Chains A and B, each alone.
Chain A
């Protein structure tokens, strides 16, 4: 860090934030200090619960009850926000320090024109209406929204996710703040959009000299964007320094472990592809799914919308086929159609070489049992009122296991996913995210399936937990020759687990092949764009 430059826009000194919980005080931020120079982009990285968001909220003076600052100073442009009255903090907020939120959809008011939302931000700080109007259009132009005058009159729903985040950034910039806090601003966005937003932030820093505090869990993004980084763990800063130093030669054991757990785009590909060529466990031929088919209309049929439009894919025993694509590409619709949640419009699904349409009900039940689904968010896919044991019991009963064997089988299932009998009678809230996903996997294994459809199974998890779940999945596959259809938007994760990869876009598969082919020599333009947009540690340093 440049020590000769003593001009700081923000300083945090020995900050301690305590939450007074019924169970006793909890120190969420413990002695955090950092300085911010104009034009500096500082990354704060950490897993969930590390205190990074609490730090940023304190910097905004927006700490929520029951949290309070118990020690230290938060200085923005020479003013100590901790000792200021609420009214003065409010004056500083927006004008000197502004925030970009994670979910632009939630941060924008759906019934207000974009223009009015930007103007509102300025009117609060006393800008005259006419000047504010002109500045609003200027700001929209600055954040890269085409046709700013026209766009200003639109409502948030008329923009795409990436454009909405640009509007949020425009609002944050409205009063020329000297510090911008970005709390996971790209987590809700697709990689290609994420790359654009990161570009925009970099450009704004260069043009406006604004300092940015970038809070994220993604080391790849840090590597691409930030100048300096601090790594937080349970409220403490465990490592700090220029990004290249910290990420290339981490010193703290936690940072080292974190770096090791991150899936990389240069990791070795899996070399254990099964060689047996029996009939595919699952084959999909030219499948089309019309999402409008179920919509009722009184007079005319709604125009069909094919979320999946002529997709063919095959998964063999012991192999992982990954389906990659950005949101809205139809990958989840495809998987839901395979397990029968959605209906297909045309095409065929074959199970063990036999078409599903020609099956009688007994065969169909057998197929339902042998293809199981693991959901992205284990918290929402487990009924909060049912214990882990009850959730497994339900799956086992459906699989036809007699009642008296259920207890032993439940325990066996838990043991397969490295949990134990003591976890049976706990409710989902008593588990960590990783444990919950293990239960989700155990439930899917209840009927001894041949194929698991894994719908973004690790994207809701912290990196270190993510690595463990991927390990578990690989182990299970080796033991039982399970076939996986792995759905993900994260190319680095896909690279670690896949034998074959299919890239999906707008309901169609644009490229498919072995992992080596797709990652080594991508043929389709879109695959190359995706690969280029994926933040990667090594690429950033090259």
Chain B
């Protein structure tokens, strides 16, 4: 019968073996993983998402340079529609909404950059705890269920009452609200991955629980968590908005995307274009995150 099937490779000349072996060694180093994730930024989605995010971050960082006047300069016309001098229009006090949006973005990014990663890391760790101890895993889930029972704003209220309004309490409130989101997501991935045959294969080889967790379960759980993180960024902005509007978050006149949206909704009849700018920025922000997580997902999983 035919023994020359594709599973039997032709013998490779020895020089070539040397070269490929060297490549192989390079790819076996931990750097390979990082490089694999970076490859996401070479895909169309990764490029677009990356560019949007970089632009937004640059805009936020350079806000004091671009708009040295600060976010509080009042002009003459209040609630003006977008025009050439005020691209996003003006607010109820005649302040330029573009300027306030950029400063608001700056504020929101500063909250998100701290709160979301804390939430993702702690939440995921809590969710994956079950891989090491069955009991601890179930116990943590019940605690997360209790947190899930509180609406984000109520939870935030409690935290603000304890440590007072401001940036820190917003970060803590958002991070805690996200815990059950990521905790349960990680738990779901864990339970699914534990049934996978390659996890059984690793157990049969005698690989330790912790190594299996780090090497097999965690990498395969990362994608849904990344996607969820991108979605949660938007939720985080609304928690910020909710707390800010009842006076427990960012204090006026300091702007944030959430406060801009909330105030804008109050004036939606007089000035329907008020919320256009902040919404646009919010959409771009969440889109950049979901494009990047999409691209990561596509590069990391098999095609």
Partners in one complex: yes
For A, the interface residue count at a CB cutoff of 8 angstroms equals: 53
Which of B3, B198, B207: most chain A CB closer than 10 A? B198
Cross-chain contact of A257 among B1, B219, B220 (Cβ < 8 A): B1
The 8 Å CB contact of A468, one of B7, B205, B216, is: B7
B203 surroundings in chain A (CB, below 8 A): 341
- Chain A 355-395, CB within 8 Å of chain B: the 1/0 string? 00000000001001100110101001111111101100111
Interface residues of B in 201-256 (CB under 8 A from A): 201-207, 215-216, 219-220
- B220 — nearest CB in chain A belongs to which residue? A385
Listed stretches A154-162, A403-411, A490-498; interface member: A403-411
Contact call B28/A393, Cβ cutoff below 8 A:
yes
Q: Which residues of B contact A468 (CB under 8 A)?
A: 3, 5, 7-8
Task: Give the interface segment out of B16-24, B72-80, B86-94, B276-284.
Answer: B16-24
Overall SS of chain A's interface: helix
A69 at the interface (CB under 8 A from B): no
**A375 engages B197 (CB within 8 Å):** yes
How close is B267's CB to chain A, nearest CB, in angstroms? 48
Decide if A429 touches B11 in the complex (CB within 8 Å): no
Cross-chain contact B219 with A385 (CB below 8 angstroms): yes
Closest beta carbon of chain A to B19's beta carbon, Å:
9
Whether, in the assembled complex, A339 has its beta carbon less than 8 Å from a beta carbon of chain B, the answer is yes
Distance in angstroms from B249 CB to nearest chain A CB is 40
Known: A373-B201, A381-B197, A385-B300. A418 touches B2 (CB 8 A): no
Task: Indicate the member of B3, B17, B196, B206 with the most A CB atoms within 10 Å.
Answer: B206
- A24 CB to closest chain B CB (Å) equals 16
Question: Could you tell me if A435 and B197 are in contact, using CB atoms closer than 8 angstroms?
Answer: no
Residue A38 is within 8 A (CB to CB) of chain B in the complex: no
A464 engages B5 (CB within 8 Å) = yes
How far, in angstroms, from A257 to B3 measured CA to CA in the complex? Answer: 9
Whether B205 and A421, one on each chain, are in contact in the complex, defined by CB atoms closer than 8 angstroms, is no
Which residue of chain A has its CB nearest to the CB of B21? A421
| A428 part of interface (Cβ distance < 8 Å) | yes
Distance in angstroms between the alpha carbons of A435 and B8 in the assembled complex:
8
> A381 with B215: in contact, given A257-B2, A421-B12 (CB under 8 Å)?
no
Bound complex: CA A123 to CA B204 (Å):
52
Check: B6 CB closer than 8 A to any chain A CB: yes
Contact for A339 among B21, B204, B300, CB less than 8 A: B204
Nearest B-chain residue to A385, judged by Cβ? B219
Task: Say if the beta carbon of B25 comes within 8 Å of chain A.
Answer: yes
B interface majority secondary structure: helix
B149 within 8 A of A: no
Query: B24: which of A257, A410, A465 is its contact (CB, 8 Å)?
Result: A410
Q: Does A419 contact B (CB under 8 A)?
A: yes
B9 in the interface, Cβ–Cβ < 8 Å?
yes
Decide if B302 touches A394 in the complex (CB within 8 Å): no
Q: Which A residue sits closest to B23, measured CB to CB?
A: A425
Chain A contacts of B24 at CB under 8 A? Answer: 389, 407, 410-411, 421, 424-425
Interface bits A460-482 vs B (CB < 8 Å: 1, else 0): 00001101100000000000000
Residue A209, interface by CB 8 Å:
no
Residue of B whose beta carbon sits closest to that of A436: B7
Does B270 touch A at the CB level, under 8 Å? no
A489 near B: Cβ within 8 Å? no
Of the residues A372, A395, A418, contact of B9 by C-beta under 8 Å: A418
B205 and A394: CB pair below 8 A? yes
Q: By the criterion CB–CB under 8 Å, are A434 and B5 in contact? A: yes
Interface string of A395-437 (1 = CB under 8 A from B): 1001000000011001100000011111111011100101100
B27 within 8 A of A: yes
- Report chain B residues within 8 Å CB of A407: 21, 24-25, 28
- A381 engages B5 (CB within 8 Å): no
Is A438 among interface residues, defined by CB-CB distance under 8 A?
yes
CB atoms of A438 and B7 under 8 A apart? yes
Assembly CA distance A108 to B28 (angstroms): 46
Choose one: B9, B202, B303; the contact of A420 (CB below 8 Å): B9
Please, how many angstroms separate the alpha-carbon atoms of A365 and B208 in the complex? 12
B301 within 8 A of A: yes
22 pairs, A vs B, C-beta closer than 8 Å:
A368-B206, A372-B204, A373-B201, A380-B196, A381-B197, A382-B198, A384-B302, A389-B24, A389-B27, A390-B28, A394-B207, A398-B207, A406-B28, A411-B17, A411-B21, A419-B9, A422-B9, A423-B9, A425-B24, A434-B5, A465-B5, A468-B7
Nearest first, the 7 closest Cβ-Cβ pairs linking A and B are A434-B7, A429-B302, A424-B24, A260-B1, A425-B27, A380-B197, A381-B197
